[in-house]
Structure 1
């Protein structure tokens, strides 16, 4: 009987831990959704996994000079984080992206090579929107724009420079 009671207590505790994890994840997702509802998303940047230690994260930059970063793997800070940017940062980024003719890039850059991370970058500029999947072979100008967005949080979350 004593062993049965211990067994039941163990099952209850394991279930409680699992529910706590689900609640924490739900709270993180809700925080991100709340941030997105407050301001229009202008830029997104996502880095996907490779077979090695490539940083995996998502970044949303909003019209109100704020951002939400979600670190997943191989970044210094895992989880959801928000940051207020210096006023005018998004306006300057928009200008830079326009001057680089962002909307003239192809929507996809691919190659028959394995084990590279994919960078997904998007720009929402009033009535124009473009999402680019960059696996390999994109122009240097596009790479520079990707790095510009990554630099917004690189110091705070210790994103590994590629």
Structure 2
């Protein structure tokens, strides 16, 4: 009987290990998910490619003060990574975005110019959502908001010189 119990326990543990996932196989929502609870994305920031070595990545910031960073090209960390932010970071960022009147910006800033990277920024504030495509010509206030989010992953984006 004792051996049967030990055998069953071993089978249960092996089954539990089978369900363990590597971070690189998860999407950002799954990484930010806390104990099965749905975690809302509050901010996203995406930097697209240019003809040169512009950093290419996507950043998702969640209501639980966590973020995911997906580095694609010309960044210090390639792949999907996550980290916890200081408590209250998302609340402070939300306040800053509201004070900057984020929802008054146009949804697109375009120009007939080639070889610039595009920044796509989005804010999901309770019942309001706005996604902005910033290629060229956006207001300085918007640029500062983009930089606030980008600063959260400065270490991940920075390519280390050897």
After TM superposition, the score normalised by the length of structure 1 is: 0.78
Greater helix content: 1
Distance (Å, rounded) in 2 between the aligned partners of 1:33 and 1:91: 19
Structure 2: 5+ residue stretches without partners: 1-21
Distance (Å, rounded) in 2 between the aligned partners of 1:78 and 1:92: 28
Distance (Å, rounded) in 1 between the aligned partners of 2:93 and 2:138: 20
Distance (Å, rounded) in 2 between the aligned partners of 1:29 and 1:104: 37
Post-superposition offset of 1:49 = 0.1
Aligned positions, number? 135
RMSD over aligned CA atoms reads 1.8
Aligned equivalent of 2:123: 123
Distance (Å, rounded) in 1 between the aligned partners of 2:112 and 2:44: 25
Aligned equivalent of 1:23: none
Post-superposition offset of 1:27 = 6.0
After TM superposition, the score normalised by the length of structure 2 is: 0.78
Structure 1: 5+ residue stretches without partners: 1-25
Q: Give 4+ residue runs of structure 1 displaced > 3 Å after superposition.
A: none
Distance (Å, rounded) in 2 between the aligned partners of 1:66 and 1:27: 15
